[in-house]
A and B are shown apart, each in its own frame.
Chain A
Amino acid sequence: MKKNTFYLLIGCIALALIAILWYSIETLQPLLIEAAFIVGIVLVYLARRRVEDLIEDERSVKITEKAALRTFQVFWVIFFAFSIGAVMEILHVPEFPRLLHPERPPEILPPRLMGYIQLGLLCLMIFLYVGFRIYYARKYGEWETDEE
């Protein structure tokens, strides 16, 4: 399989997944998109093994590694900072004396909202990764042009 065919196939799988996501939302079948996502990823890996052109070398691996490491370094701080607050709220004991503001009710985030915020943070991680990937790709000459 040629490199461009592989990228075209990835595009087709992504479009199919969006369509299935839409359908599973409409019909309230979360298992459908979950199964489709796993099948899609397996298809991508199988197709990748059949690519004859070179699509990865040590420079691209280094770009991926650096972007992933930086994403993790930033993300875990944000995620942990929020999650530790969430844990504190879960473990909150209302009987503790509220000396500073006794009139104010305790601020407790509903668990569902905590989940949504964590989901949002995971989406932020994807954007962080894309940003770092672009930065390191530029740094290591991904879009350099030459006179040749």
Chain B
Amino acid sequence: MKNKIKVYRAMHDLTQEDLAIKIGVTRQTILAIEKGRYVPSLDLAFKIARHFGVNIEEIFFYGEEPIRPRPGD
């Protein structure tokens, strides 16, 4: 499972500590998720996605890139 948390953090100008406090986990957890050492629960994944205001598939995905929904879908 890969993710783009680091990218979204940079886009929202957030440190790992800031994001961790906002979603109620420790900084080490954010770091472990970013580095792929820990796969978050669905609950935490949704919290992270909601915090950035995107769908969960935009941040968490298998393979190289997330599958973006087509305009007609």
Contact = CB atoms under 8 A, between A and B. Distances in A.
Interface stretch (B31-39, B48-56, B59-67): B31-39
A141 interface: yes
B40 A148 contact: no
Interface of B: 15-16, 20-21, 24-26, 28-29, 31-32, 34-35, 37-38, 40-41, 43-44
Contacts of B40: 58
The A contact surface, by secondary structure, is loop
A54 interface: yes
A98 to B, nearest CB: 58
A141 B41 contact: no
Q: How extensive is the interface on chain A, given as a class? A: 10 to 19
Given A62-B38, A140-B37, A146-B16, 8 more contacts: A54-B25, A57-B24, A57-B29, A58-B44, A59-B32, A141-B32, A144-B28, A146-B35
A58 B40 CA distance: 8
Given A58-B40, A146-B16, A140 B26 contact: no
A59 B16 contact: no
A57 B37 contact: no
A140 B30 CA distance: 11
A70 interface: no
Contacts of B37: 139-141, 144
